Structure 1
Amino acid sequence: MISSLETRKTRVTLVGAGINMVLSLLKIAGGIMLASPALVADGAHSLSDLASDIMVLWGLRQGARAPDDDHPYGHGRFETLATLALAALLALTGIGILWDGAGRLMGGALAVPGLWALAIVALSIGVKEALFRYTMAAARATRSTLLSANAWHHRTDALSSVVALVGIGAAQLGFVWADPLAAIIIAVMLLRVAWQFGKGAADELVDTQAPDDLRRALEACLHTTPGVCGLRDLRMRQHGARVVADVSVMVDPLISVTEGHRIAEAARAQALAQVDALEDLIIHVEPAGHFEGFGAEQAPLRTELEGQVLTLALAHPMVRQVERLHLGYFEDGLHLELLAELAPEADHALTETQIITAIGDVLPELTQLRLHRISAGLRG
């Protein structure tokens, strides 16, 4: 189902396309008949607006599709791809106008444009400025970078019409070189806008870090989650109009895995609810103060030591059964906890000391061992 936001983006783009079609035909035809290269250049700009509207519609339609097997992160980057294509179109249009204007100035092919050219340009300025404001309002409401780029394309068209107005007016006063000079200025404006949006789209496609204000907002939100002791390795990247992020959340190293998971899920839910631009967040849980070093990177895994530890513990004459072995991986070494059934006559403290000695002789990484005694009635 298409959301109301997607419907609004489509409607705004269709309105712009209709207006651009009328303006481009009016300005190009008027520029040819009235001998105004500036008006023709302005019309070419409006025609590029029409082409950009078509690209925007394609990008919006593709970007609104739900994730699938081939695109598990969604289709938001289609908007980015369309933005990059729009930037390329703007650049090509600007280069063409620049080439034509420079050729007219150097070749001396100058003429005084007809007076009606001023009226056409004045109409274009008012219409395109209104279209800019209309489109930008929708871009902000829907957080669409693609729609924002298209809005600024409308604004540059309005500004280029202002330049055309000045150039045509000056030509009417006898400065015939002003008209092609205005066309060159318009071309430079187009190239500048093309660079801005092209660079932004390229940065997004190569996963450049998201803006600092979004990072700070997410960090502040995560820090307020109960149980979160700290953060590290926060990475955010644009994904169309939204951002996706991953982060390591520090929790108390002595809590259970399930509690750590619960804290992470609470942090994720809170972030998605409070940071509007956030589309998805992947959280990795790490023990505060012990996320690297010996315990995290060098200590033996359970499969490497469990059998040996259990064999040594059960070899003690006072140990009848070991119910559970808990492993703690810390920077200073291994912390073990044994839940065991002892003989009724066993001295708990002495048995614990003797087991520590026996295991410590073969497991030098051991820095702490606790023996928890259970009765036969509590087993299972």
Structure 2
Amino acid sequence: MTAPLLPASKDHAKTRVTLVGALVNVVLSAAKIAAGLVLASPALVADGVHSLSDLVSDVLVLWALRHSHLAPDEDHPYGHGRFETLATLALSAVLLLTGLGIAWDAAVRLVTGAVSAPGVWALGVIALSIVGKEALYHYTRAVGAREGSRMIIANAWHHRTDALSSVVALVGVGAAQLGFAWGDPVAAIVIAAMLGRVAWEFGKGAVDELVDTQAPDGLRADLQDSLSRTPGVQGLRDLRMRQHGARAVADVSIMVDPHITVTEGHRIAEAARADALGRIDALEDLIIHVEPAGHFDGFGATEAPLRGEIEGLILTLAQAHPMVASVARVQLGYFEDGLHVELLASLHANADHAATEADLTDSLRQTLPELRALSLHRQADEQSGLQA
């Protein structure tokens, strides 16, 4: 599938804020790097490189937005949400590498003594950068929070670190102006440390998501509450939830009355799924497995013979009974204590129902020791349904 030229409408806000950020970063990075070179300020150059790394992150975000909203396809059956995660991880790597480069350059200047006081105009450029990047941070973070996008929020923090690094650069350049020439490269090293910390925080979150770390407890609690509200759900187990880009996917087993039909169990599951997806905006998909309450493991679930192994035997013995004309249906119940069998059969007119049921139970138990209960229903009763 070819990515569209523009993301879907729900991503327009993310795209717009990222393009605004890219434009601001182009202007600021060019201004700071040029001023840093002209005014001999390594801290200002480092700050400009930081803004340039912001521009790289903006490009990564735009790339992710082009892909993450696409619907599932043959190659990506779970959708493309993790393109955002991949972009967040790449952004973290850019932050880390930028920080290491800045720290190395500043350390070399300190060791070699190649430090000097930058021109006074450096202070004005830095002040302009602080105002611009702080405003961009608040704008971007608001959009990320509204859209529930950790990638956009991470990019906002990238803008915030640029603003904070400009504050550090301002202090360093100011110190150099007062005669402490080492203040400029020291400020650059502090900026690098800030970059490394932010890179760790967002990189760890992205890695956690890629290795399917459990989703936050609050989100899991919301899902548990929603599922438990559904009529017919008697309990939950094996709830697993993981992040998938900006949203989450989950799978869970719901407990239902073991005596209901498969179709009723399926209806309960679909109702629970629809309610959860409607209540929880952060939930992208939910897979529900239906299990019988009180009988989801043990003999009935793991050891009892399957229908193909015993249905022929049951039919043969039942139809061999002199009072049974034919058997229309065999219904099997798998429980902890063994098999519960219900037969829908046509009986001869003179058949004693209770006696026939008792005879069939004794006969089947001789060859099917797993049998714990047998119920015989006349075929004429089919309109009113099988009775327990």
Report if TM-score (shorter chain) is over 0.5.
yes
Q: Which of 146, 154, 169 is equivalent to 2:151?
A: 146
Residues 320 and 83 of structure 1: CA distance in aligned 2, closer, same or farther (over 3 Å) = same
Q: Is the 2:144–2:153 Cα contact (8 Å) retained in structure 1?
A: yes
Alpha-carbon shift at residue 314 of structure 1 (Å): 1.1
Q: Which of 325, 343, 348 is equivalent to 2:330?
A: 325
TM-score, with structure 2 as normaliser: 0.96
Residue of structure 1 equivalent to 2:183: 178
Residues 328 and 225 of structure 1: CA distance in aligned 2, closer, same or farther (over 3 Å) = same
Corresponding position: 1:283 with 2:295: no
Residue of structure 2 equivalent to 1:266: 271
Percent identity over paired residues: 69
1:196-229 residue CA offsets vs partner (Å, 9 max, x unmatched)? 1111111111111111111000000000000001
Residues 41 and 257 of structure 1: CA distance in aligned 2, closer, same or farther (over 3 Å) = same
Residues 352 and 157 of structure 1: CA distance in aligned 2, closer, same or farther (over 3 Å) = same
Alpha-carbon shift at residue 4 of structure 1 (Å): 3.0
The alignment partner of 1:110 has SS state of: coil
Counterpart CA distance in 1 for 2:379 and 2:220 is 49
Counterpart CA distance in 1 for 2:14 and 2:271 is 33
Residue of structure 2 equivalent to 1:41: 46
Residues 28 and 287 of structure 1: CA distance in aligned 2, closer, same or farther (over 3 Å) = same
Counterpart CA distance in 2 for 1:340 and 1:51 is 74
Corresponding position: 1:361 with 2:366: yes
Q: Which of 110, 116, 119 is equivalent to 1:105?
A: 110
Alpha-carbon shift at residue 375 of structure 1 (Å): 4.0
Counterpart CA distance in 1 for 2:277 and 2:220 is 13
The alignment partner of 2:343 has SS state of: strand
Unaligned runs of 5+ in 1: none
The alignment partner of 2:369 has SS state of: coil
Counterpart CA distance in 2 for 1:50 and 1:306 is 68
| One-letter amino acid of the counterpart of residue 241, structure 2 | M
Counterpart CA distance in 1 for 2:57 and 2:344 is 69
Residues 209 and 377 of structure 1: CA distance in aligned 2, closer, same or farther (over 3 Å) = closer
Q: Is the 2:330–2:342 Cα contact (8 Å) retained in structure 1?
A: yes
Residues 376 and 95 of structure 1: CA distance in aligned 2, closer, same or farther (over 3 Å) = closer
How many pairs were matched up?
379
Counterpart CA distance in 2 for 1:191 and 1:236 is 29
The alignment partner of 1:368 has SS state of: strand
Counterpart CA distance in 2 for 1:67 and 1:314 is 51
Q: Is the 1:341–1:376 Cα contact (8 Å) retained in structure 2?
A: no
Counterpart CA distance in 2 for 1:237 and 1:293 is 29
Q: Which of 315, 319, 343 is equivalent to 1:314?
A: 319
1:88-137 residue CA offsets vs partner (Å, 9 max, x unmatched)? 11110000001011111111111011111111111110100000000011
Q: Is the 1:342–1:375 Cα contact (8 Å) retained in structure 2?
A: no
Q: Which of 119, 127, 131 is equivalent to 1:126?
A: 131
The alignment partner of 1:339 has SS state of: strand
The alignment partner of 1:155 has SS state of: helix
| One-letter amino acid of the counterpart of residue 376, structure 2 | L
Which deviates more from structure 2 when the two are superposed, residues 23-32 or residues 59-68?
A: 59-68
Write out the 4+ residue segments of structure 1 that deviate beyond 6 Å after TM superposition.
Answer: none
Residue of structure 2 equivalent to 1:3: 8
The alignment partner of 1:210 has SS state of: coil
| One-letter amino acid of the counterpart of residue 344, structure 1 | A
Unaligned runs of 5+ in 2: 1-5, 384-388
Counterpart CA distance in 2 for 1:2 and 1:128 is 25
Alpha-carbon shift at residue 31 of structure 1 (Å): 0.7
Corresponding position: 1:223 with 2:228: yes
| One-letter amino acid of the counterpart of residue 230, structure 1 | G
1:286-338 residue CA offsets vs partner (Å, 9 max, x unmatched)? 10111111101110011100010111111111111111110000011000001
Residue of structure 2 equivalent to 1:32: 37
Alpha-carbon shift at residue 2 of structure 1 (Å): 4.2
